[in-house]
Amino acid sequence: MGVKMVGARVKRVEDPRLLRGEGAFVDDIDIPGVLHMAVLRSPHAHARVLSVDVGPARGLRGVVDAFSAADLGPAPAPIPVLFPVETSRDTPQYALARDVVRYVGEGVAVVVAESRHVAEDALELIEVEYEVLDAVVDPVAAIEPGAPALHAAAPDNVGARLVYAVGDVDSAFETADRVVGDRLDMQRYTGIPLETRGVAATRDAVTGELTIWASNQWPHTLRGIVAGMLGMPERSVRVITPDVGGGFGTKAEVYPEDVLVPFAASRLDRPVKWIEDRNEHFLTLVHSREQIHELEFAMTNDGRITGLRARLITDIGAYQRTLAVINSSLAGTSIAGIYDIPNVHVEVICAATNKSPASPYRGAGAPEAAFARERLIDIAARELGIDRADLRRRNLIKPEQMPYDTGMASVEAAVVLDSGDFPAALDEALKMVDYDGFAERQRTARADGRLIGLGICVYHQLSGTGPFEGASVRVDPSGQVTVNSGAAPQGQGTATMLAQIVADELQVDHRSIKVVFGDTGRIGFGVGTFASRNAVMSGTSVLMAATKVREKAMELAAHLLEANVNDLELEEGYVQVKGSPQSKLSLTEIAAAAAPGGSRPPGMEPDLESVQYFENHAAPYSFGIHIAEVEVDRNTGLVEISRYVVVNDAGVIINPMVAEGQIAGGVAQGLGGALMEELVYDAQGQPQSASFMDYIVPGSLDVPEIEVGHLHSPSPLNPLGVKGMGEGGAIGGHSAIANAVADAIEHLGVRVTKTPLKPSVVWELMEAAGQQRP
C-alpha cells in the first residue's frame, strides 16, 4: 500500500468551491415560475384563535393562495415524535395552529404569492381574532400546581418524565461522609447557522415526484416524515439537501414550513419556495439547552463520589416534535460523565412552556449535564479542600475497567464506554496547561489586582448512533471514483474524510474522488448527519463499499492478467502482479473491462460498484478534557480567554485538520453559551432577543487560539476504529469556561451556578459580594 490517507492532515476538498462562492444553497435553487410563501405568525405566546379570515389577503394583486388550518383538511398530520417514551404525553404541533397558539412565531396562516414582498404585504390583511391566555415562561413555574396548562393531555405541563437509576442511591446518600449539592441552571440558547432555513418544492414534470429542496441535515428522514404527514407514499417524494450553511442539530428537525411548502406546491401544482428571514429564525428555530439541574453528590471525605442524585427540568417549549425527549434523555444518561459513580438516580422532567419548541443543538443534553456535573465537582473540591484536578482523577473510570457499562441507556443507545484511558487524558491536558504552576500564577495575578481563573471540563459524547447509514462507491469506465452517501453534511468536511477512506482502499488521489450527498434520489436508504455520526456511520459504510469494489477489481484484474488474485497488489491506481511491475492494469482499465460488454470472468456481474449499509447496534463514545484560562475585568465583568487547551480522544482520527476545525467550532459555540448567548423571553413570553442586535454570538476575535492534543483509543465497534467528535467542543467549551470564570471570582465570596456569564452578570455577582471595586 502506498501513502496512508486515513490520518493525513490534508486540506478540505470542499473548500475551493465554497470559497469561490460557487456553493448552491436552497435559495440558489431557482425554479421557473416559483411562488413565494410567507407565514403569518402569532404575536402572542398563548392565545385562543377565535377566527382567521384569509379572504382580504386573497384579494391582493399577486396573491395566488392563502390558507389557514381550517383549509388544510385532515392532512397534514402533526409532526411525529420519533423517540416516544412510556410517559410521553400528546403535545402535537400541526403545520398551522388549530385552536390555540402556544408561542410567539407559531404559524397561523400562509400566503403564497408571486413575490415574497407581496406575500408579506398580504399577511397584514389576514384578520385573526385572538383571545389572549396566560403564558407560562419559566419551566419551574410551569410544572407547579395551578400553572396555566398548554395541552389538555398534559394538564401539569409535563410532556414526559424520564428516570434513570443504577445501584442504590438512597443507601449511598445515607452512608455518605458528605453531601454536596446545588441548583445549576443553563440558559436557553441554540445553534445559529449562517444560512437560515429554507424549503422549495415542485412537482418534477419528468418523474412526477414532488421534489423538495431543504436546508436540512437528514434528507431521507425528512422524506419519510413529510410524505407521512402529507399522506403521500414515500416514493412520491424526493428530498435534496444542496449545500447547507450550518445546522448544528437545529436542521435535524421537521418544521411546519417543511410541510407547508410541499403542501402548497401540491395544492397549487406550482413550485413554491420559502426562505426564512433572520427574525423568523430566532423566533421559530428549535431552541435548546434550557435546563435546571438540582444535583447532589454523596461523597467520602477523601473525595470519592459514591452517589449522584439529580432532578432535571428540561424546558421543552410549546410542543414536542421529532426529537422531543432526546435532550432530556441524553442529559439524564450522561450526567455521571466518565466517572465511576456506582449509584445514580436521575429524574428528568420535560416541562412545557410558551416558547419555541426545544430540540437538540450540538451536544444535545451533554453540555447541560456536563455543566452541572463539572460545576458541582469544582464546588465539592472547594468544600472538601481537595484539588479539583485531583478530585476528578480520583473518580475517573480506570483503564482496567474498560469497556465500562454504566448500566444506563438513553433512547438512542446504551451508555457503554467502549475505549479510552481517561486519567491519562486528564494528565496530558494538565501538563499542556502547566496546571501545577497555575496556583502560583493565580496568586501572583491576584497580588497584581488581576482576576484569573482556570476551569476544567471532563466530558464524553455519544457518537455514531444507528440504526444505519448507506453509501455507494463506483469506479466508472473513465476511472472516476464516485461516492454517494446518505449523509447530509453542513460544513463538517465529510467529503474530505470519506475521500480519504476511499483513497486508501482504492489507492487513488483523494482529490479526484467525487463525493455526493443529500439526495434521496441517489441512494435508496439513508439517515443523515447529526449526533456526530458521519465518521462512524458514513465512514464505515463507505469503507465497506470501497472494500467490495477493491475486491471485485482485484478479482477482475486476476482474470484479465491471467494471474492468481493472491499474487496481485494494488498500488497507486494500478493492480500489478507482485514483483512483475510490467504486468499491470490501471483501475480505469479494470473499470472499463467491468462495463457491460466488457471482459469478465463467468458469473461476475458488470460494473465496478457496490452499495453497502453499515448497521450498528452499539454506539462509540469519545471523550475529552478542556481546560480554559480566563481573566475577568474587575471593572466591567468582561471575560477574556487567555489560554485554551483540549485533549481529545475520538479513536482513530481520519483528518486531524478537519477534527481540529470541529473542535474549534464547538469551543466557539460553547464559549458563546458560557459568556454571551441567551434567548430571553419576558414574563408574557415575548422574545427579547430576536435579532443579532440582542443575541450576541462570538466573533473571530472572541475565540482564543486552541491548543489540541490528540489521544487515539480506537473504537472496537467499527473497522475504522473511529468515534465521532463534532459535538465535543461545544460540550467541553461551555463548562470549562464557566468553571474558569468561577475560579477567577469565587474566592471573592460568590458562587457561579448559571450561565451565560455576560459582563453584566459577572459584574452583578461581584457587586453582590461587594467586590466589584476592591
Q: How far is the CB of 547 from a second copy (least distance, A)?
A: 13
Q: Residue 1: which H helix or E strand, with range?
A: none
Judged by beta carbon, residue 150 or residue 237, the one nearer a second copy is 237
**Interacting residue with a second copy among 333, 343, 612, 735 (CB under 8 A):** 612
Q: How far is the CB of 205 from a second copy (least distance, A)?
A: 4
433 to 472: interface string for a second copy, x by CB under 8 A: ---------------------------------xxxxx--
| Alpha-carbon distances of 504 from 9, 44, 461, rounded to whole Å | 14, 57, 28
Question: How far is Cα 242 from Cα 198, in angstroms, rounded to an integer?
Answer: 11
Stretch that binds a second copy, among 103-111, 200-208, 397-405, 618-626 (CB under 8 A): 200-208
> Strand ranges (DSSP E) for 13-106?
35-41, 47-53, 63-68, 100-101
Stretch that binds a second copy, among 106-114, 199-207, 528-536, 694-702 (CB under 8 A): 199-207
Question: How far is Cα 460 from Cα 478, in angstroms, rounded to an integer?
Answer: 45
Judged by beta carbon, residue 6 or residue 544, the one nearer a second copy is 544
Instruction: Count residues binding a second copy (CB under 8 A).
Output: 48
**Interacting residue with a second copy among 119, 169, 239, 240 (CB under 8 A):** 240
324 to 363: interface string for a second copy, x by CB under 8 A: ----------------------------------------
244 to 283: interface string for a second copy, x by CB under 8 A: ----------------------------------------
Q: How far is the CB of 608 from a second copy (least distance, A)?
A: 9
Stretch that binds a second copy, among 150-158, 233-241, 255-263, 735-743 (CB under 8 A): 233-241
**Interacting residue with a second copy among 476, 509, 555, 633 (CB under 8 A):** 476
> Strand ranges (DSSP E) for 377-432?
404-409, 414-417
The DSSP-derived string for 552-597 is HHHHHHHHHHT--GGGEEEETTEEEETTEEEEEEEHHHHHHHHSTT
- For 48, phi then psi, to 5°, come to -85, 135
Q: Is 510 helix (H, G, I), strand (E, B) or coil?
A: helix
Q: CB neighbours (10 Å) of residue 584?
A: 18
**Interacting residue with a second copy among 19, 50, 163, 516 (CB under 8 A):** 516
Stretch that binds a second copy, among 184-192, 487-495, 595-603, 734-742 (CB under 8 A): 595-603
Cα distance from N-terminal residue to C-terminal residue, the chain: 66
Judged by beta carbon, residue 580 or residue 599, the one nearer a second copy is 599
Determine contact, residues 262/76, Cβ cutoff 8 Å: no
Residue type, 623: F
**Interacting residue with a second copy among 514, 559, 710, 712 (CB under 8 A):** 514
Instruction: Assign residue 78 a region (left: φ > 0; alpha: ψ between -120 and 50; beta: otherwise).
Output: beta
Stretch that binds a second copy, among 202-210, 431-439, 550-558, 754-762 (CB under 8 A): 202-210
**Interacting residue with a second copy among 61, 86, 478, 566 (CB under 8 A):** 478
Q: How far is the CB of 477 from a second copy (least distance, A)?
A: 8
Scan for cell 482529490, then name that residue: 511
Determine contact, residues 634/774, Cβ cutoff 8 Å: yes
Q: Residue 699: which H helix or E strand, with range?
A: none
Judged by beta carbon, residue 204 or residue 302, the one nearer a second copy is 204
Strand pairing report for 107-113 and 198-203 = unpaired
How far from chain centre, in Å, is Cα 537?
Answer: 15
Q: Which residues make Cβ contacts (< 8 Å) with residue 281, sequence separation at least 6? A: 192, 196, 197
29 to 48: interface string for a second copy, x by CB under 8 A: xxxxx---------------
CA angle 286, 410, 185 (to 5 degrees): 55
Residues that bind a second copy (CB under 8 A): 17, 22, 24, 28-33, 205-208, 233-235, 240, 242-243, 466-470, 474, 476-478, 480, 482, 514, 516, 519, 521-522, 524-525, 595-597, 605-607, 609, 611-613, 615
